[in-house]
Amino acid sequence: MSRIGKNPINLTKGVEINVSDDKIITVKGPKGVLTQKLDDAISLNIEDGVITVARRSDSKDDRSKHGLYRSLINNMIIGVSEGYKIEQELIGVGYRAKVTGQELELSLGYSHPIIIQLPDEVKVSTETLKGKAPVITLESFDKQLVGMIASKIRSFRKPEPYKGKGVRYMGEQVRRKAGKSGAK
């Protein structure tokens, strides 16, 4: 049995969940509304604010989907009630970030600035303090969306192992290499 899939999900206050006839889950909460299509192999049981996820058979495919859909539903419930937040820092000389509405402008050492148009579901803010690296904060109720955008921002300049320059997640440790040794 799936260890993740058999765990029950507790509904938090202010969160509504609906399952339509064509297996579409809709989760409504104070932060927003999320929908997800449910696979035919998976069924939901909602009783007294507790959701249990069950599968139809013990085949390998059904077992893999069991834990997946339990995690997706749990992430949806957490997202519409609390939301998700990802912080990234820009490490490098002259690296900057600026927000104008839903547009994020990054200066990452290239000859031109990188401009990213963000969806309305994502709130972005930047903070630049003297002596510290600029910080980009992404907030949303959709975990998949905010993670994808953070990954896209990081892909423009991944942290390199010699000087450690690049876009990092807050608290991420970059493994450093020694580099060349000088002639002796």
For the domain spanning 9-81, the CATH number is 3.90.930.12
Domain ranges (residues) in the chain: 9-81, 84-169
What pLDDT is attached to residue 5? 85
The CATH number of the domain covering residues in 84-169: 3.90.930.12
pLDDT digits (tens, 9 = 90+) for 47-73: 988 999 998 888 888 888 999 999 999
Q: Specify the pTM.
A: 0.88
pLDDT, the chain, mean = 91
Q: Which of 157, 158, 156 lies closest to 116 in space, CA to CA?
A: 156
**Is the Cβ–Cβ distance between 45 and 4 less than 8 Å?**
no
CB-side exposure of 127: number of CA atoms within 13 Å? 9
CB-side neighbour CA atoms (13 Å) of 42? 28
175 pLDDT more than 80:
yes
Q: What percent of the chain has pLDDT over 90?
A: 71
**Which of 148, 160, 173 lies closest to 138, judged by CA?**
148
- pLDDT over 70 at 1, yes or no: no
Q: Edge-to-edge strands of the sheet including 135-140?
A: 123-127, 135-140, 84-91, 166-169
Q: Tell me: pLDDT of 183 over 80.
A: no
